[in-house]
Each structure stands twice: as structure tokens, then as C-alpha cells.
Amino acid sequence: MDFLRPASWEEALAAKAEHPTAVPIAGGTDVMVEINFDHRRPGHLMDLNRIGELSEWQVGPDTVRLGASVPYSAVMKHLRAELPGLALASHTVASPQIRNRGGVGGNLGTASPAGDAHPALLAAGAEVEAASVRGTRMIPIDDFYTGVKRNALAPDELIRAVHIKKADGPQQYSKVGTRNAMVIAVCAFGLALHPGTRTVRTGIGSAAPTPVRAKEAEAFLGAALEEGGFWESGKIITPSVAKQFAQLAAGACNPIDDVRGTAAYRRHAVGIMARRTLGWTWEQYRGAGRTLEGAA
């Protein structure tokens, strides 16, 4: 195994082009587990920690450009206002030690359906800035996940940053696990209200081969909110609408039975979380939301 330590982004791209099977490592919270347990022996390990810009972020008018290696702890601490859903998701990641090292870039690189950031990215709307020696392209988040632990990156590409839409309305995130820390999601749900476009976006984790949106549920809810004039009136969403939304969200799942949970439970839980997160975000939109302690 060779250990590469590019000092700059350009060096990193060049190295990846030369060794397309090189495995990039930043926080190490996925890659090192595989190496420690002898599940992976890449020919080249490419350390990205020397590239300082990957740990920086810029807040623009509409988006936050989040460097691929910004640790979750920084998102929680500094981007709660701009990216509330992602900040909540970050707070559910593993442990303080892991949150100090792991970041969204690594989550995307691994592209596990259980990755904590994905439902929040899907709900907020985002684009992945993927670069290679051939140039840079923006991959819409909806097109990023292509299979179980597979993503749309070409072999010579690295993730430089993620451009995430700044919140224009309340966002929520909920993760079901059988323990209160250091737990892989049994299922997870992200929801973002977008009053600017009068749409609602969702993200579901650990309930399908990839992270997915509940598009039918979103379309239904968008139409119902429009028809009922809810955006303007701010009145409470009709229980039947919330129920239908939850059912459609559950229906968007394609889960399996595994050691962490059953398919039936996952569908059921997603429905519950869809209903609850809709309630919480809508209450916040109405101005009647309760303030939450403990960073949720």
C-alpha cells in the first residue's frame, strides 16, 4: 500500500488521475474501519488532510459552499442557521470524536444508504462539486446516489465541496436507532419547507438501496398546501393531509430486513417520522413552534 499526501488540490487531482483506484481519506471514519478490519487493501491511500481549503466553507447569497472535509462538529457549531437540517443530522452522527473528524464529503464518497447527511442534503437541495484533471462539474444531489454504496463520481474524480441551498424555511431531521449515540440509522428522515418556491422536499435514509426522496409525498403535499391556501393562511395542516403525506412517504421506501431492523418496521417508522417532522416544521412556519433545547 502506498500513502500519498498531496499538498494541494491540484496535486490531489493529478494523483487521482494517475491512480484511479487510490482511496481518498480525510476524516478516516469509514476508510480506517475497513482497513483496521482487513476489509479493504487499496493499492494507494490518498490523505487529503494537507489541503486546507477542504475544511473551509463560504456562505453565499443562496447556498453554502461546504468544503468536503469540514467536520460535522463545525457544521453543528457554525451553520445551524443556514443549514438547520444538516446541523441536526450532524448532531446525530456517532460521537463527539467522530464528529470532529468526519464530514459530508466522506459521507458522500462512501454513499452508504445509512449515511447521516444524505436525507438532509436531499431535503435541502444540493449539488456536489466534483473535480478531476479534466475539469469540474456539479452533480445534482438527486443524481448522485447510483446504487448501494455507489455514487456518480468517475474514477478520477474527487469531491471538492458540496453546495447546499441555504434554508428558506424550517427544516427537520430525525433518525431512528436502538441506542442514543454511536448508532447506524435504522431509518432516517429529513424534511425541508421551501416557502420561497412553495415546495417541500424530503430525504429518506436506510430504507432503500440508496438515500431517496419521497417524491410522490412531496408532490401531494405541495399540491394540498397550495390548494388549501396553507402557505398564506398559516393554519394547521388538516390531519388527513398529514396522514396521506406520511403514507406516501412510507410508500417511497424500498427497505430490507437486516440485523438492524425489519422492512416492515422501517416503512412504519418513516411514516411516523414524516408526520412528526411535518408537524414540527409547520409549527415553526406558523410561528407557533416550540423552542428546542439540547441543540435539536
Partner 1 sequence: MALHPRAASVPAGTPTKITQGSGTRGGIGESTLRPDGTLKVTGEFAYSSDMWHEDMLWGHTLRSTVAHAEIRSIDIGEAVATPGVYAVLTYDDLPAEMKNYGLEIQDTPVLAHGKVRHHGEPVALVAADHPETARRAAAKIKIDYAGLPVITDEASATAPDAVLVHEGRTDHHAGHVPHPNIVHRQPIIRGDADAAAERADVIVTGDYVFGMQDQAFLGPESGLALPSEDGGVELYVATQWLHSDLRQIAPVLGLPEDKVRMTLSGVGGAFGGREDLSMQIHACLLALRTGKPVKMVYNRFESFFGHVHRHPAKLHYEHGATRDGKLTHMKCRIVLDGGAYASASPAVVGNASSLAVGPYAVEDVDIEAIALYSNNPPCGAMRGFGAVQACFAYEAQMDKLAAALDMDPVELRQLNAMEQGTLLPTGQPVDSPAPVAELLRRVKARPLPPEQQWLAAGAEGDSVDVRALPGGLSNTTHGEGVVRGVGYAVGLKNVGFSEGFDDYSTARVRMEVINGEPVATVHTAMAEVGQGGVTVHAQIARTELGVNQVTIHPADTQVGSAGSTSASRQTYVTGGAVKNSCEAVREQVLEIGRRRFGSYHPAWATAELLLEGGKVVTDGGEVLASLADVLEDETVDVELEWRHRPTEPFDLRTGQGNGHVQYSFAAHRAVVEVDTELGLVKVIELACAQDVGKALNPLSVVGQIQGGTTQGLGVAVMEEIIVDPKTAKVRNPSFTDYLIPTILDTPAIPVDVLELADDHAPYGLRGIGEAPTLSSTPAVLAAIRNATGLELNRTPVRPEHITGT
Partner 2 sequence: MRVNFTVNGRKQEADDVWEGESLLYVLRERMGLPGSKNACEQGECGSCTVRLDGVPVCSCLVAAGQAEGREVVTVEGLADYARHRDDAHPGTGCAAGACGTSLDAAQRWQARPADGRSAEAAELSPVQQAFIDAGAVQCGFCTPGLLVAADELLEAQPSPSDEDIREALSGNLCRCTGYEKILDAVRLAAARQEEAVR
Closest CA to 113 of 255, 3, 231: 255
Span interacting with partner 1, options 120-128, 145-153, 168-176, 196-204, rule CB under 8 A: 168-176
Of 184, 214, 248, 252, the residue at the interface with partner 1 (CB under 8 A) is: 184
- Nearby residues of 275 by Cβ (< 8 Å), 6 or more positions away: 242, 243, 245, 246
Q: CB burial class (10 A; 0-12, 13-18, 19+) of residue 134?
A: exposed
Q: Smallest distance, Å, CB 190 to partner 1?
A: 11
Residue 45 partner contact from partner 2, partner 1, none using kind-dependent CB cut-offs of 5 to 8 Å: partner 2
Of 14, 35, 59, 272, the residue at the interface with partner 2 (CB under 8 A) is: 35
Residue 276 partner contact from partner 2, partner 1, none using kind-dependent CB cut-offs of 5 to 8 Å: partner 1
Q: Smallest distance, Å, CB 226 to partner 1?
A: 27
Q: Is 186 in the site for partner 1 (CB under 8 A)?
A: yes
Pairing label, strands 2-4, 44-47: parallel
The single-letter code of the amino acid at 205 is G
Taking residues 77 to 116 in sequence order and writing x for each that binds partner 1 by CB under 8 A, - otherwise, the string is -----------x--xx------------------------
* Angle subtended by helix axes 239-251 and 215-227, to nearest 10: 160
**How many residues of this chain bind partner 2 (CB under 8 A)?**
29
Question: What separation, in Å, do the N-terminal and C-terminal C-alpha atoms of the chain show?
Answer: 42
Residue 94 partner contact from partner 1, partner 2, none using kind-dependent CB cut-offs of 5 to 8 Å: partner 2
| Size of the chain, expressed as the number of residues it contains | 296
3-class DSSP state of 11: helix
Hey, which residues between 235 and 294 contact partner 1 (CB under 8 A)?
Answer: 259-262, 264-265, 267-269, 272-273, 276, 279-280, 290-294
Of 7, 138, 154, 181, the residue at the interface with partner 2 (CB under 8 A) is: 181
Closest CA to 227 of 214, 212, 240, 215: 240
DSSP classification of residue 54? G
* Angle subtended by helix axes 239-251 and 263-286, to nearest 10: 140
Q: Is 5 in the site for partner 2 (CB under 8 A)?
A: yes
Hey, which residues between 29 and 58 contact partner 1 (CB under 8 A)?
Answer: 36-38
Grid cell locating 121 = 442534503
How far is the C-alpha of 202 from the C-alpha of 179, rounded, in Å? 24
Dihedral sign, Cα of residue 219, residue 216, residue 123, residue 231 = positive
Which residues sit at the interface with partner 2, rule CB under 8 A? 1-3, 5, 25, 27-29, 31-33, 35-37, 41, 45, 47, 49, 94-98, 100-101, 180-182, 294
Which residues sit at the interface with partner 1, rule CB under 8 A? 36-38, 88, 91-92, 172-184, 186, 259-262, 264-265, 267-269, 272-273, 276, 279-280, 290-296
